[in-house]
């Protein structure tokens, strides 16, 4: 304080601040342009972005953001109680211009159970606004800030326990456009990655509560773009046309994981690294830290579906981190031909690849108990990686063998599956899988043992499979 008072300019600023609070922003020591007029911010839900700012002067921007706690879909058949900034996850996208004076209203819906606040990384001030915005249910807080630094910033709730508020969906993005604006592009989208930690495993149905232990161990069940599995895929894919330049405002709410953000089949012409002003070019994947961002730009030169992933790839294919941009339009064969031919190629005698099994054939089992014991060993060497320790499988990737109606309905078909592998659609316990089980190259004895083991476990029907029966199915050549 002593130092501040020695500075005559600051002293003048303080004097005016006391006398004429409404003029404070106009004489800020940071030489900000005077604020002219006011406007109410347009706020959007992902993947939409408010329109670019065309004005050439700072203004007073009034932001009304309402926190609400809502039950919504996290994945098919899975619901979650999200704590939201604006009714969905991620929170509303806020767009202001460098130098704008922001009047921020944070309302907390009366139906909320928790108090909340907001920490905007774009704010220079204690807690990024959190210190001034603690808001109990049925209340509204107001505070003001000047957007001093251009860039793309994360905002989030910072009410204790902070991790839990963020894990429940409390984050979003605020863009502070530089004075000169961002170069015009054809399409802009809002994409925000985050993880969810649920009591049940991935895909386990019903209303899933938050799991604090998993969150502490950073063992995410779901890693998603825009708040739910498929929120930006399939029918919800972002739409664009060939020739469009696309800009993605990418954020990562965390709470824990760093994203290796990648778009399959595209190269980022530009990346505004970490959402700042430094531009990197010709980038394949860019890191987006938890509580950080990046702006990426690319031109859609060819038609097709471009898939957004976290290239920590199990998150993409097994935890939900997949988004899509569909580019409609004519082919550009010179850039990408598409498949021009499809020929049979059978170096190993079949379209299904095989996994050679190099262990010695098992000693012949003398009875069902020995068969089960030997089968357990085969299972744990060969099948467990996909079908999992309790035969529960992995949702959307590997069907269950536990209590599997498909398995229990037909022993010969199960034998054929293990002998020849399996492709195409199969329905197991009402769920359709469309994947590939490789051919496993197991001797008849091992096939008999492993299936006898599987049938003896996890409420299956207890059938015993003999090597003779396996040999008969092999000899029949029947492939299901």
CB 116, CB 143: distance < 8 Å? no
Cα gap 456→411, rounded to integer Å: 13
What is the closest distance, in whole angstroms, from the C-beta atom of residue 157 to Cu ion in the complex?
A: 3
423 binds ligand HEC (CB under 6 A): yes
Residue sitting closest to Cu ion (CB): 157
Cis ω on the peptide bond leading into residue 161 (within 30° of 0)? yes
Among 96, 283, 400, 470, binds ligand HEC (CB under 6 A): 400
Instruction: Choose among ligand HEC, Cu ion, none what residue 121 binds, the Cβ cut-off being 5 to 8 Å by kind.
Output: none
Q: Which string of b and e fits 42-59 if b means at least 16 CB within 10 Å?
A: ebbbbbebbebbeeeebb
Q: Which of residues 429-468 bind ligand HEC (CB under 6 A)?
A: 433-438, 440, 450-451, 454
Among 16, 23, 62, 386, binds ligand HEC (CB under 6 A): 386
Q: Which does 406 bind (CB under 5 to 8 A by kind): Cu ion, ligand HEC, none?
A: ligand HEC
Cβ contact 108:136 at 8 Å: yes
Angle 444-456/411-420 helices, nearest 10 degrees?
130
Please identify, using beta-carbon distances, which residue of 229 and 440 lies nearer to ligand HEC. 440
Sheet holding 279-283, edge to edge: 222-225, 187-196, 245-254, 292-299, 268-272, 279-283
The position carrying tokens 């603690």 is 134
State the binding partner of 383 from Cu ion, ligand HEC, none, CB within 5 to 8 A by kind.
Answer: ligand HEC
| Residue placing its CB nearer to Cu ion in the complex, 43 or 448 | 43
Please identify which residue in 74, 237, 240, 401 interacts with ligand HEC, judged by CB under 6 A. 401
- Determine if the peptide bond prior to 395 is cis (ω within 30°): no
CB of 432 to ligand HEC, least distance (A): 8
Q: How many degrees, rounded to 5, is the angle at CA 426 between CA 238 and CA 77?
A: 50
Q: Which of 84, 146, 417, 449 binds ligand HEC (CB under 6 A)?
A: 417
3-state SS of the chain: helix, strand, coil percent to 5?
A: 25, 35, 45
Report the C-alpha gap between 115 and 137 in whole angstroms. 6
Minimal distance in Å, beta carbon 316 to ligand HEC?
17
Q: How far is the CB of 197 from Cu ion (least distance, A)?
A: 16
Q: Provide the 8-state DSSP code for 477.
A: T
159 binds, among Cu ion, ligand HEC, none (CB under 5 to 8 A by kind): Cu ion
Instruction: Specify the residue, 115 or 289, whose C-beta has the smaller distance to Cu ion.
Output: 115
CA distance 55 to 52: 9
Q: Which is nearer to ligand HEC, 385 or 475 (CB)?
A: 385
Nearer to Cu ion, 141 or 374 (CB): 141
103's enclosing H/E stretch is: strand 101-108
Instruction: Count Cβ atoms below 10 Å from residue 405 Cβ, excluding itself.
Output: 11
For 468, phi and psi rounded to 5 degrees? Answer: -65, -40
Minimum CB–partner distance for residue 198 and Cu ion (Å): 19
CB 407, min distance to ligand HEC, A: 4
Query: Which entry of ligand HEC, Cu ion, none binds 37, CB below 5 to 8 A by partner kind?
Result: none
Per-residue x/- track, 136-175, Cu ion (CB under 5 A): ---------------------x-x-----x----x-----
**Euclidean distance between CA atoms 75 and 224, whole angstroms:** 10
Taking residues 126 to 165 in sequence order and writing x for each that binds ligand HEC by CB under 6 A, - otherwise, the string is: ----------------------------------------
- Fill in the per-residue mask, 63 to 102: x = in contact with ligand HEC (CB under 6 A), - = not in contact: ----------------------------------------
116 binds Cu ion (CB under 5 A): yes
Nearer to ligand HEC, 10 or 463 (CB): 463
- Shortest separation between residue 152's beta carbon and ligand HEC, angstroms: 40
Count of residues in contact with ligand HEC, rule CB under 6 A: 30
Binding flags for ligand HEC, 296-335, as an x/- string (CB under 6 A): ----------------------------------------
Query: In the set 102, 120, 240, 407, which binds ligand HEC (CB under 6 A)?
Result: 407
Element at 247 (helix H, strand E): strand 245-254
Peptide bond into 95 cis (omega under 30): no
By DSSP bridging, strand 206-207 and strand 38-40 are: unpaired
Among 220, 224, 382, 419, contact with ligand HEC (rule: CB under 6 A): 382
Gyration radius of the chain over CA positions: 29
Query: What is the DSSP annotation of 430-474?
Result: TEEEEEEEPB----HHHHHHHHHHHHHSTT-------HHHHHHHH
Residues in contact with ligand HEC by CB under 6 A are: 382-383, 385-387, 398-401, 404, 406-407, 414, 417-418, 422-424, 426, 428, 433-438, 440, 450-451, 454
């Amino acid at each position: 304080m002593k130092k501040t008072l020695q500075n005559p300019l600051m002293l003048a600023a303080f004097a005016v601040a006391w006398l004429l609070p409404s003029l404070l922003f106009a004489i800020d020591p940071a030489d900000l342009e005077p604020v002219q007029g006011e406007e109410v911010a347009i706020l959007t839900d992902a993947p939409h972005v408010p329109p670019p700012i065309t004005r050439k002067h700072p203004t007073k921007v009034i932001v009304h953001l309402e926190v609400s706690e809502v039950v919504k879909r996290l994945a098919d058949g899975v619901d979650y109680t999200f704590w939201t900034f604006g009714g969905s996850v991620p929170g509303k996208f806020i767009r202001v211009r460098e130098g704008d004076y922001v009047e921020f209203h944070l309302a907390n819906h009366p139906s909320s159970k928790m108090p909340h606040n907001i920490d905007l990384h774009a704010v220079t001030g204690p807690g990024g606004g959190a210190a001034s915005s603690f808001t109990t249910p049925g209340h509204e807080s107001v505070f003001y800030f000047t957007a001093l630094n251009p860039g793309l910033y994360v905002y989030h709730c910072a009410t204790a326990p902070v991790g839990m508020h963020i894990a429940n969906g409390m984050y979003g993005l605020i863009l502070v456009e530089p004075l000169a604006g961002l170069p015009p592009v054809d399409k802009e989208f809002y994409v925000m990655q985050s993880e969810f930690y649920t009591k049940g495993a991935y895909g386990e149905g019903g209303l899933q509560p938050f799991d604090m232990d998993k969150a502490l161990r950073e063992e995410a069940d779901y890693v998603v773009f825009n708040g739910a599995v498929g929120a930006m895929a399939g029918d919800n894919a972002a739409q664009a046309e060939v020739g469009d330049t696309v800009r993605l405002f990418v954020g990562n709410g965390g709470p824990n994981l760093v994203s290796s953000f990648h778009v399959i089949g595209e190269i980022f012409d530009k990346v505004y690294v970490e959402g700042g002003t430094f531009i990197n070019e010709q980038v394949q994947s860019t890191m987006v830290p938890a509580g950080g961002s990046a702006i990426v730009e690319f031109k859609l030169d060819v038609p097709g579906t471009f898939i957004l992933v976290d290239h920590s790839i199990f998150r993409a294919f097994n935890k939900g981190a997949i988004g899509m941009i569909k580019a409609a339009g004519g082919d550009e064969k010179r850039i990408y031909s598409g498949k021009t031919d499809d020929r049979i190629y059978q170096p190993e005698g079949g379209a299904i690849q095989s996994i050679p099994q190099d262990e010695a054939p098992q000693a012949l089992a003398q009875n069902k108990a020995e068969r089960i014991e030997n089968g357990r060993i085969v299972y744990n060497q060969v099948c467990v990686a996909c079908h999992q320790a309790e035969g529960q499988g992995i949702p959307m990737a590997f069907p269950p063998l536990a209590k599997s109606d498909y398995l229990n309905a037909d022993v010969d078909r199960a034998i054929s599956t293990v002998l020849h592998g399996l492709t195409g659609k199969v329905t197991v316990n009402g769920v359709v899988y469309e994947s590939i089980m490789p051919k496993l190259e197991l001797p008849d004895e091992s096939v008999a043992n492993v299936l006898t083991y599987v049938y003896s476990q996890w409420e299956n029907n207890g059938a015993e499979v003999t090597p003779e029966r396996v040999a008969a199915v092999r000899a029949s050549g029947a492939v299901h």
